């Protein structure tokens, strides 16, 4: 539902914080997002996520923070920026300053735990994630609610990357990981998935298909949680190489 900005409402946007800190708004948004789980855990509420229209008339997201939320976020910045934030709040309260956002904003509905779990279930099914990766996602969703979850769910066998398993067999010079992946994709055991990067570009990563789950598991990539990392069962790898025709 669209609401006009209430000039008497004592809030500060992430746009204003970015301007005072001399930082890119997207970086400030990321910092606030990273701090939000701890705030939810202590206070039981999310930061207000709203939309605004930029100079091009395009709709963009930003946070709208109350005083206590703003002071919490300010702990991420240096002394000078924190001082500027204090002065800015004083000017807002005394009417010496106006909020940066003076356009129509739309409050964005915060996803419920049910919404998050549905999205996680879809992602786990679409990417054929293993049990441990599903657990990692569940812990990220449920951590603010202090619900008990196990630390680890064992895989069905010892899983390693194709590169590691080829090295263990002394085959790395005969079969490169690239050649292995190419044949696995051609035979339908592996596929390539696309995602959008933070810069709006397309990033590709590999994921084991349902057909390939007999020989391996998809694990959340520890270097990039937005991607999967195909890992293969060590005790079935020789059989898998024969199936692939190596």
The phi, psi pair for 207, rounded to 5°, reads: -145, 135
Encode pLDDT of 15-56 as tens digits. 888 888 888 888 999 999 999 999 988 888 889 888 887 777
Q: What is the pLDDT of residue 153?
A: 52
Encode pLDDT of 105-161 as tens digits. 444 556 666 777 677 777 767 767 766 666 667 667 666 656 555 555 556 678 899
Under DSSP, is residue 107 helix (H, G, I), strand (E, B) or coil? strand
Encode pLDDT of 51-79 as tens digits. 887 777 788 888 888 888 988 988 888 88
pTM of the full predicted structure?
A: 0.47
> Is the confidence at residue 102, as pLDDT, over 50?
no
Under DSSP, is residue 6 helix (H, G, I), strand (E, B) or coil? coil
CB 105 within 8 A of CB 5: yes
Residue-level length of the chain: 246
Q: What is the pLDDT of residue 119?
A: 74
> Is the confidence at residue 204, as pLDDT, over 70?
yes
Question: Averaged over 78-84, what is the pLDDT?
Answer: 87
Domain boundaries, the chain: 2-107, 113-244
Question: Averaged over 189-215, what is the pLDDT?
Answer: 86
Long-range CB contacts (within 8 A, 24+) of 27-32: 29/61, 29/62, 29/63, 31/73, 31/76, 32/63, 32/65, 32/73
> Is the confidence at residue 211, as pLDDT, over 50?
yes
């Amino acid at each position: 539902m669209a609401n006009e900005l209430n000039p008497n409402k004592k809030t500060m946007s992430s746009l204003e914080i970015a301007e005072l800190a001399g930082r890119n708004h997207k970086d400030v948004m990321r910092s606030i997002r990273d701090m939000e789980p701890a705030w939810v855990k202590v206070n039981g509420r999310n930061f207000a996520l709203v939309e605004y229209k930029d100079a091009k008339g395009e709709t963009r997201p930003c946070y709208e923070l109350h005083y206590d939320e703003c002071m919490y976020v300010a702990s991420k910045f240096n002394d000078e920026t924190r001082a500027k934030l204090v002065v800015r709040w004083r000017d807002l309260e005394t009417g010496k300053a106006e909020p940066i956002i003076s356009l129509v904003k739309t409050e964005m509905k915060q996803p419920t735990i049910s919404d998050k779990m549905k999205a996680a279930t879809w992602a786990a099914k679409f990417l054929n994630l293993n049990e441990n990766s599903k657990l990692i996602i569940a812990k990220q969703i449920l951590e603010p609610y202090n619900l008990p979850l196990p630390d680890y769910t064992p895989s069905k066998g010892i899983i390693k990357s194709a590169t590691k398993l080829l090295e263990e067999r002394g085959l790395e010079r005969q079969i490169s990981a690239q050649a292995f992946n190419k044949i696995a994709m051609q035979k339908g055991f592996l596929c390539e998935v696309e995602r959008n990067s933070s810069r709006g570009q397309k990033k590709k990563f590999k994921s084991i298909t349902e057909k390939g789950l007999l020989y391996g598991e998809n694990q959340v990539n520890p270097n990039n949680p937005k991607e999967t990392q195909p890992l293969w069962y060590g005790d079935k790898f020789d059989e898998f190489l024969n199936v692939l025709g190596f």
